[in-house]
Structures are given as C-alpha cells and as structure tokens.
Structure 1
Amino acid sequence: MLKDAYQSAEEFAKSHYENFPVISITLPKEAKKHIAVVYQFARQADDLADEGIVNPEKRIQNLELYEKRFSDCLCGQFITDFWMALKNTINECNLSTQYFYDLISAFKQDVFTTRYQSYTQLLDYCKRSANPVGRIVVEICGVRSEEAFLHSDSICTALQLTNFYQDVSVDWQKGRIYLPQDEMEKFGVTENLFDEKQNNANFKSLLKFQLERTRELFVDGRKLLPFLPSSLLVQIKMTMLGGEKILDKIEAIDYGVIETRPKLSKVDYLQIFAKGLLTNAR
C-alpha cells in the first residue's frame, strides 16, 4: 500500500505545472518519494482553498476537514493510503509537524484575504504559505541548521513572490492582488489599472521595484547551497533558476503581466536542467 501511495504521489507531482521541477531525476529515490508526498499534501490543500465554484465558507470547512485528517494521520488514523504515506514520511524523516499546520493556516487565509496592506504582511503570508515547504525539504535531506532554514526561507519567499508577479492577471480574475497596497499607492497604481489592462509607466516602476527586491532574496538563498548534500544541490539550483527565469521573462515583456502570463517553455526547462547540472560549484 505504501509503495502504491508513493508512486501515486510522484505521478501527482509530475502532472502539475510549476516553474521548477518538483522532483528531478537527480534526487535519490528515497528523497524523491518523500518530497512528492509532501508536495501532494500542500497542493491538495491549496486546491481546496482555490476552488472557485465553491463558496468561501464551504472552502474553509473543507480545509478544516483536511486539517483534521492530518491530525488523525499523526495519531495513526488513515482515511486513505496517502495519509499513511505522509505519516510514514514524517516518521522516517523526523519532520516538524508544525510546518504542515502552517501551510493549512496560510491556505485558510487565502480564502478571505484578498489584499495586503504592506510588504511585511505579505512576508508573513509567505512565512506560512511557502517557507514551510522549503524547511520540510531541507529536513528530508537531513539538514538541521537554523542558518540553513533562514536561507531556505529566502528562496521560498522569492519563489512565492515570483509566482505572484507571474499570476497578476490570474489573481485579479479571482479578486486578489498580491502587490502591497501601500507600495501601489506610493507608485501611483490604482486597481482600475487592472480592469483597463494598462501597463503604464507607474505599474512598470512598481513591478520593477518588486522584481529587484525579489532578486535580492534569491541572492541570499544561494547561501543555502553549502549546507546541502549533493543529492539535493542540483534540485535547489534548478528551483532557483526557474524562478529567476520567470523574472527575466517578466522583464522581457516590459512588465506586461496584466495582459500576459509568462511561463517557462520546454527549451527553458532544458536550459535550466543543463545549467543546474553543469554549475557544480556551491
């Protein structure tokens, strides 16, 4: 049963589009299955929060039920083999269970919170929506260092922010804006701009500022590399390269994310994979 559950988790991970490979061929088999089942946990919860045809109250109920099933699995009660595999991963890798609860907390917040007044508020969301995943992956690979965790946080926050900029048009259709309200005001950007799809000078300046700050997070994230075992090193490099490539693409379309959602091509993936393999220096 466990073997089938892990295989199903790996297939689940491969079937979902991301800006980076969730599980690459460079990972050892054991780490691959554990990362896949953690990804499935996070993605399923995210999907529950993002079910557009379901009213917000029902989405919260679904997330609370998901949280209960997670708590049950920690007590050895499994409604499906997926939960059994997740508990096995938590036990084998000695994972911090609070990170899983943090993820669910962020997804609950996503149901009702559609604006963020400041960058600080946005970072608090990232602290629970993205950073726990990185910390879990680092734990799976046997790293237990607070300094490593902090650099991992920089990578995950940068990836989350990058996804926000990439999905400006998608999120607007869902009634969400992940650009800090105070910074929108500072740069003279109003919400009317999104409806009118105006990629004007003010919006370009705002997004340019966001991208520059996010690139600094990726730079700090590279300090994680010396802490990593070789089995995880290429995976993390490719993850960062994927995020940075999206930032490049946003710049290439002159910050026109209100009308266009940039995404990676097959050629981009091949280049990222090759660069991740060839740049072996930590």
Structure 2
Amino acid sequence: MYLDQRALTRAGIHDPLLRESYEYCRRLLTAIGDGKDIWRGSLLLPPERRPHLWTVYGFARHVDEMSEAAIETGAGRAQFADWCTTAMADLESGHSCEPSVRALIHTLRTWDLDPTGAQAFLDAYLMDQRVTEYSTFDDLLGYLRLIAVEPFRMVVAVMGPASRPAGSEAEAVALALYLTNLIRDVAEDQRLGRTYLPLEDLDRFGVTREDLACGRMTPAVRDLVKFQVDRAHALYERGAGLPGLLHPQCRGLVTASLMFYRSYLTEIERRDYDVLSAKPRIGPAHQARMALRLGVPLVMSRARRSASGTGHTWHREGAACS
C-alpha cells in the first residue's frame, strides 16, 4: 500500500478524489484473477508511470466484468449500454462522476491522448452484446482493433516511446496478446454462446461450432487450434521489436509480458493443442522461473534507480466531480 500511495504522489496526483479514483482502478485489478499479475508487473515501472497503467487496465477490467455479467444473465444489457453511453460522453466532456472513467480522463490528459481510442474500446464491448461470431479473419481484425489495439496504444503511451513511433509493432503485439487469450478461452466462450475463431477457418478444417461446444478434441479441431497458434506466433514475431522502441525503464516489463503470454502458446503446443478439456494455464514452477529470469534483475535495477533519486514527476490533475 505504501508503494502504491508513493506512486500516486510521484505521479503528481494529489487531489483526494482523484487519488481515490486511481486507487479504485488498482483495487479492480488486485481483486480479480489475472489483474493481480498486471499490478505486480506495474511495480517494475518507474513509480510515476504505475498509476496510469492501473487506470488503463482497471477501466478495461471494469467494463469487461460488467459486459460478462450482462451476457451471462441476459439481464442488465440496457443498463450496460446506458453506462457505456454515459462513459463515452464523459470521455468527450472531460468530466465524470464514475471513478474509473475519472481516472482514465486524467491519464488521457497526462499523456495527451485522444479519447476516441477509449470510446472505440467501449464500442467493441457493445458489439459483444449482439455479435456472437465472425465470418472472416478480417472481420475479427476489425473487432480486435477496437478492443485490443486501442487500449494497448494507451499502454504504449504510458511506457513512453523513446525513439520512432511504435505503431505497427504495438498493433502486432496487441493482436498477438488478445488472440492468445481467444485461443485459451475457446471452451469458455462457447459456453457464453460466442465463437471468436473465424468461421472461414472452422470451414477450412471441417469444424463446426457444435464440435467446439461439445468439447470434442478431434484431429480437425487440433489442426484448427494449431493454425491459430501459428498465426499468433507470427504476430509476436512482427511485434518483437516493440520493447526497443519504449522508454528504457519500461522495456523489461514489456519483454517479460511478451514472454509470459507467449508461454501460453507453448503450453497449448505441449498439450497437443487441447484447449477444450481444460483451460491452458502456466504452472507456478514455470512462473517462478520466469520471475527469476526477468523479475529479479528488473527489481534490482529499479532499486538502484530509486536510490539514485532519478525519475520524473507529473503534475497535471483533472477536475474533480462536484
């Protein structure tokens, strides 16, 4: 908690209401599953950048949870749509009474980002309420550019590009990360009535939505999953140069994240592409090895920089909701 409060101060966030809004986003992360990994990873960033990472991912997690609840229950879809509409208007006006939106507005101002990216992200979740399948990979790409690429551009901005713009590399990495999640979640998405793998790919390998829903790991399903895994690997390769385009103090975290997520593909390959019988996970032993390989040197480097007193403090604050 002390480190988190110190990060808010180092980021120049002093207004009590705004600090609580950022803290709200941090709590959204630490309360739910994979979000804890994002918060732990943020500790490897310079303190003044951490709160902005919490906000981007905390806001995204908040929207995701509300969307899933609306889809699973069949109720509350109108309320979710109303919330998204209000959030879009707040992003446009620059003022909000919703904590996660208030913090995101401040982050967008701090890094001079256009709110249309966040609005596009909300559009993607509204699509999820009515679209349950994608005919072609190009159709899927249109969705992924809204739900994955746009928020990742915010993350890249927080990481502070150190050289040329990282547009193409950032897009490739965002697509790779999200496609990895889609491959992992095939069975779970089927239970929610959604098929993200393009129907043209299912047809190519002779797989039906019913095959995926029934959990039958046939040779055709394995070929389908292998095709998607190879596609994700190709995207990771296209984005491999991204860490080198970021601020030197942020490169290690991005490198670690890429290694971590790509290890899911390795696990899927190890399981002979079976993503239906159980959700692929990274075991504690493998996580520990990656932490030792990447985390310890990063922490030691961060400690040395902290001791030397280097770092940058941001001072811009957004208006609180009255």
> Could you state the TM-score of these two structures normalised by the residue count of structure 2?
0.79
Q: How far is the alpha carbon of 1:73 from its aligned partner?
A: 5.0
The residue that corresponds to 1:247 in the other structure is 265
Q: Aligned runs of 1:226-241 on 2, under 5 Å?
A: 226-241=244-259
Q: Secondary structure at the match of 1:22?
A: helix
2:106 is aligned with what amino acid? Answer: N
Q: Distance in 2 between matches of 1:149 and 1:83?
A: 25
The residue that corresponds to 1:18 in the other structure is 34
Q: Aligned runs of 1:123-272 on 2, under 5 Å?
A: 123-143=141-161, 147-272=165-290
Using CA pairs under 8 Å that are at least 6 residues apart, name the structure with larger relative contact order, 1 or 2: 2
Q: Secondary structure at the match of 2:240?
A: helix
Q: How far is the alpha carbon of 1:81 from its aligned partner?
A: 3.9
Q: Distance in 1 between matches of 2:259 and 2:170?
A: 14
The residue that corresponds to 2:313 in the other structure is none
The residue that corresponds to 1:55 in the other structure is 74
Asked whether the 8 Å contact 2:162–2:246 carries over to 1, the reply is no
4+ long deviations beyond 6 Å: none
The superposition leaves residues 119-151 of structure 1 with CA deviations (integer Å, 9 ceiling, x where unpaired) of 111111110110112110111233387751211
Q: Distance in 2 between matches of 1:250 and 1:164?
A: 12
The residue that corresponds to 1:107 in the other structure is 125
Structure 1 unaligned segments of length 5 or more: list them: none
The superposition leaves residues 13-65 of structure 1 with CA deviations (integer Å, 9 ceiling, x where unpaired) of 22332399323121112211011011121111222222134437x42542342
Q: Distance in 2 between matches of 1:14 and 1:185?
A: 40
Asked whether the 8 Å contact 1:49–1:63 carries over to 2, the reply is no
- Aligned residues: percent identity? 24
Tell me which moved more, 89-98 or 211-220: 89-98
> Could you state the TM-score of these two structures normalised by the residue count of structure 1?
0.90
Structure 2 unaligned segments of length 5 or more: list them: 1-16, 299-322
Q: Distance in 2 between matches of 1:274 and 1:122?
A: 36
Instruction: Give the root-mean-square deviation of aligned CA atoms.
Output: 2.3
CA distance 1:73–1:156, change in 2 (3 Å): closer
CA distance 1:160–1:146, change in 2 (3 Å): farther
CA distance 1:257–1:22, change in 2 (3 Å): same
Q: Secondary structure at the match of 2:216?
A: coil
User: Is 1:36 the counterpart of 2:54 in the alignment?
Assistant: yes
The structure with more radius of gyration: 2
Aligned residues: 279
Asked whether the 8 Å contact 2:191–2:213 carries over to 1, the reply is no
CA distance 1:265–1:26, change in 2 (3 Å): same
Q: Secondary structure at the match of 1:223?
A: coil
Q: Distance in 2 between matches of 1:146 and 1:17?
A: 34
CA distance 1:19–1:85, change in 2 (3 Å): closer
